[in-house]
Amino acid sequence: MAEAIVFLPGILCDARLFGPQIAELSAQFTVISAPVAADDTMTAMATRALNSLPNQFALVGAGLGGVVAMEILRLAPERVTRLCLIATSPLQGVPLETLAYEPLLVAARAGRIDEVVTHLSGHDPAKAQVIDADVLALLQDMALAIGVPGFVNQVRAVQRQQDMQAVLRKSNCPTQIIFGLDDPFIMPKRYETLAAFIPDAQLTALPHASVVPSLEAPAEVTRALKAWMARPLVLRHS
């Protein structure tokens, strides 16, 4: 039986974040999207997902979803056959980074969710950081669907995030890391360092993509996922 692929979306996003990949991969694999907005800790998000997922699965997480994926790997490594992290980091946020979310919560509660999405997407024409208009519109629509309560949960989970480097160092499943070279928040060197300490990790850097590679470079991300799914599994010893 083909492996199931579980997609975990990023902050203020739903399954549409992976729309192009789901549309193509669902012809060959069982595809599942697990929401990550109902709880305010990574552990609770991961536990909720685990309670509804098959016994084993390949795991794709983007942004916040990538951190939830790492938490799932920590809680139930025997259930994760493969791991793919997209535009995400295992590092615990420093206080300045975590406190920076508070003005975004104020804006969201005041009905200015569009400003929140613009900031989180890195869209800033003044700095030549530009997200495609259609992609930005989809991000705005997903944010409205998640809503303010979901956003509050996600921010609190991010602010309580623990360092996940030790979890990744112990991983023994085929791992794929995908990132955009135009990402304004996480520098390429951090992804290179991440790939270097994960056993059986491969790195895909995408030009002309930033924080949402699955929408900005959909064909390239799908191609990377297909190659990742074709890699041989690691034999686990009991």
**Alpha-carbon distance values, 165 to 74, 96, 107, 161 (Å):** 11, 20, 32, 12
- Asked whether the beta carbons of 25 and 77 are under 8 A apart, the reply is no
pTM above 0.85?
yes
Statement to judge: residues 81 and 15 lie in one domain: yes
In a domain, 237, yes or no: no
Shared domain for 34 and 78, answered yes or no, is yes
Instruction: Give kind and range of the element (H or E) at residue 46.
Output: helix 42-50
Query: What is the reported pLDDT for 237?
Result: 45
Q: Same domain for 109 and 178? A: no
- Structural domain containing residue 150: 95-157
Residues of the chain with pLDDT > 70, as a percent, come to 92
Per-residue pLDDT tens for 181-223? Answer: 998 888 888 888 888 888 889 999 999 899 999 999 999 999 9
Same domain, 127 and 179: no
Write the Ramachandran bin of 231: left for phi over 0, alpha for psi from -120 to 50, otherwise beta: beta
Residues 81, 170 within the same domain: yes
Cα 44 from Cα 47, distance rounded (Å): 5
Neighbour tally for 221: CB within 10 Å: 27
State pLDDT tens for residues 28-82: 999 999 999 999 999 999 999 999 999 999 999 999 999 999 999 999 999 999 9
Residue 238 located in a structural domain: no
| Domain end among 114, 132, 157 | 157
pLDDT in tens, 117-162: 999 988 776 665 678 899 999 999 999 999 999 999 999 999 888 8
Check pLDDT > 50 for residue 238.
no
Closest Cα to residue 145, out of 123, 117, 118? 117
Domain count, the chain: 2
pLDDT the model gives residue 54: 95
pLDDT at 95 over 60: no
In the prediction, which pLDDT does 48 show? 97
Other CB atoms closer than 10 Å to residue 110's CB: what's the count?
Answer: 10
